[in-house]
Structure 1
Amino acid sequence: MAAQPGIDLLGPVDGISFDIYNRFEPVNELYLDNCFISTSYDATAHFESTVMDVLSMYSMITGKVL
């Protein structure tokens, strides 16, 4: 587990729980089929990765950077 060094700093803990989610990414040839599909939404705070995905899609569709 990648978080183990940080968990070790806590000392004894009663229990650890976490969720695992599948994450999907489009595999189509978007410039061939003109179908722009976002990646799966994830649990990051404030939807940072979702916003980055939407900005990337906007740039691919319009050719402009926001």
Structure 2
Amino acid sequence: CILSHPIKNTNDANSCQIIIPQNQVNRKSDIYVCMISYAHNVAAQGKYIAIASTTVETSEPEKEIEPALELLEPIDQKFVAISDLYEPIDDGAESQVFCSCSYDATTHFETTCNDIKDIYKRMVGSAFDFENMKRKQNDVFGEADQ
């Protein structure tokens, strides 16, 4: 959706993420709202871009996001799209072709990050070791290793 205002009750934030819990709207899946704005150079001055998403559960998908759309009113322009979700059927071990899953409805990228970690593990044979990536207390950004 394109808006001419920030989302109500967000202290006029230029960006925000809202998760409407499934049990509050009698659903099996949460509804996600992500809003960004001109402050992020993605819209004209004074404009806001809001994305409402969820996993389709009925034959009336647009109706399923009504609780999110109500938060965004008034809406200047609304675009509706439904996307299928895909996931690889081959782990890539034999073919050496490692495919990711489709993006899902979430807006916090947790499932995408988990997918990236899974691809790494399938490619290398072991989980990525984040401990090796931790910065030391006296590390200075941009400083070359000595």
Which band: TM-score by shorter chain?
0.5 to 0.7
Larger gyration radius, structure 1 or structure 2: 2
Corresponding residue of 1:6: 24
Question: Matched residue pairs, number?
Answer: 56
Larger % of helix: which? Answer: 1
1:61 equivalent to 2:123? Answer yes
Identity %: 30
Asked if the contact 2:92/2:122 (under 8 Å) is kept, the reply is: no
C-alpha RMSD over aligned residues: 2.3
Match of 1:45 among 94, 104, 107: 107
Counterpart Cα distance in 2 of 1:7 and 1:43: 16
Aligned-pair distance for 1:52?
0.1
**Which amino acid in structure 2 is aligned with residue 35 of structure 1?**
V
Using the alignment, how far apart are the partners of 2:91 and 2:118 within structure 1?
15
More strand by share: 2
Aligned to 1:12: none
The residue that corresponds to 1:28 in the other structure is 90
Counterpart amino acid of 1:50? T
Q: Which runs of 5+ in 1 are unaligned?
A: 9-15
